[in-house]
Amino acid sequence: MTGFVERIRQGEAKGLIARNGIFIAFIAFMIAFGIGSDKFLSFNNLESVVRSSAMIGVMALGVTIVVISGNLDLSVGSMLSFGTVMVVDLHDKIGPGPAILVMMVCVLLLGAVNGFLIGFVRLNSLIVTLGMLSAIQGLTLIYSGGKNVDVNPSTQDTTWFRVFGRGEVAGIDMPIIIFFVLAIIIGFVIAFTPYGRRVYAVGGNPTAAVFSGIRRNRVVFSTYLISAFCVGIAAIILGSRVMGSQNNVGQGYELLVLASVILGGTSLLGGSGSILKTVIGVLILGFIQNGLLLLGYPYFAQWIVTWVVIILAVWLDVAAKRGRLLSPIA
């Protein structure tokens, strides 16, 4: 009887870790870096990390939807470059409002191309978005003529465009507000609406979803529009914050975004994941990088440690789901 009760308790403990492993890891990292550096848990440092992570976080929200549907989006980095260059370049030519509108329409069109090729033509998402990564970067260079762009220095401190990257509300930086408000909205949609259930169904079992009457092609198409929309918002934040843009400003961001999504526990096989855990994944990645810098490690150490953390997170998640948590790898 005692052995039976003990097995039940062990099973409950494993289930608790499987469900909340990302939160436990987050707390563990915060405690570890807090002990290692007295500056780490200061309000200014915490706010700085969340603010700098907000842009990656906004893009990660959209990519999470794509990955839950069973696909990938590696074009977000180049799309960020294109959107930022366009909105900054058009700011002085047609005004900030029209510049934002035109940029969002163009970015959504790029997302629609991804969605059409993957959702309706049924091409592989890895190949399509990898190709789009190069194509959009080329489009950015063609648009800008290979030159960096900047908002007129005389208007940088007076334009209302600056509010998205430099503004505050009740002492909270606007990028942080945008990130969390968008996370709440998208999180509610994916968790509590019929659309969200269709996304999970398409990612979990595409064949069964089709036989259930779900239009897979339309669902997949819509996920890439959401991803593109989030990239457009990130481009506004980045352009507003820097008041300028290089042609390759988004290079490498696709890897950071995907790392955050994976770290948040979203399965690359599709059908599982949550916006809340993606938010935690984004913050963990940001705090790891910040903590290593405060502890005096060189910048390249961030990439190595981040890789190790992601591998461990994926292994723990898979092992926990198979009921083999903390057991030797077979």
* More confident: 84 or 267: 84
If you average pLDDT over each of 27-36, 105-114, 236-245, 312-321, which comes out highest? Answer: 105-114
For residue 242, count other CB atoms closer than 10 A to its CB: 17
For residue 152, count other CB atoms closer than 10 A to its CB: 10
By C-alpha distance, which of 25, 260, 249, 278 is closest to 136? 249
Residue type present at position 120: F
Helices (runs of H) and strands (runs of E) counted in the chain: 13, 4
**Predicted pLDDT of residue 240:** 92
- Measured CA angle at 275 (ends 73, 137), to 5 deg: 25
By C-alpha distance, which of 92, 96, 238 is closest to 151? 92
Instruction: Give, as one character, the DSSP assignment of residue 83.
Output: H
Confidence band of 30 (pLDDT split at 50, 70, 90): confident
Q: Enter the CATH code of domain 46-151+161-320.
A: 1.10.3470
**Predicted pLDDT of residue 313:** 64
The token pair at 12 is 């409950």
Mean pLDDT of 64-85: 94
Straight-line distance from the first to the last Cα atom of the chain, in angstroms, rounded to the nearest whole number: 30
The kind and range of the H/E element at 210 are helix 206-211
- pLDDT above 50 for 5: no
Q: Going by DSSP bridges, is the β-strand pair 244-245/149-150 parallel, antiparallel, or unpaired?
A: antiparallel
* More confident: 53 or 4: 53
Q: Cβ(257)–Cβ(59) under 8 Å?
A: yes
**Predicted pLDDT of residue 289:** 83
C-alpha–C-alpha distance, residues 217 and 110, integer Å: 17
**Predicted pLDDT of residue 156:** 81
pLDDT tens digits, residue range 141-153?
999 888 888 888 8
Q: Cβ(139)–Cβ(247) under 8 Å?
A: no
- pLDDT above 50 for 41: yes
* More confident: 297 or 203: 203
Q: What is the DSSP string of 117-168?
A: IIIIS---HHHHHHHHHHHHHHHHHHHHTT--EE--GGGTTT-GGGHHHH-E
- pLDDT above 70 for 20: no
Return the domain boundaries, the chain: 46-151+161-320
**Predicted pLDDT of residue 327:** 47
Provide φ and ψ at 245, rounded to 5°.
-160, 140
pLDDT over 90, % of the chain? 45
Provide φ and ψ at 173, rounded to 5°.
-60, 140
- pLDDT above 90 for 210: no
Confidence band of 326 (pLDDT split at 50, 70, 90): very low
Confidence band of 4 (pLDDT split at 50, 70, 90): very low
pLDDT tens digits, residue range 160-169?
888 998 888 8
- pLDDT above 80 for 299: no
- On average, the pLDDT of the chain sits at 85
C-alpha–C-alpha distance, residues 262 and 260, integer Å: 5
pLDDT over 70, % of the chain? 87
Determine the angle formed by the axes of helices 253-263 and 275-294, rounding to 10 degrees.
110
SS3 172: strand
If you average pLDDT over each of 136-140, 205-209, 270-274, 295-299, which comes out highest? Answer: 136-140
By C-alpha distance, which of 306, 237, 249, 230 is closest to 64? 230
- pLDDT above 70 for 291: yes
Mean pLDDT of 222-251: 92
- pLDDT above 70 for 181: yes
Q: Distance between alpha carbon 162 and the CA centroid of its chain, in Å?
A: 23
**Predicted pLDDT of residue 65:** 96
* More confident: 266 or 133: 133
Lowest mean pLDDT among 74-78, 95-99, 180-184, 323-327: 323-327
Looking at the DSSP bridge assignments, the partners of residue 245 are: 149
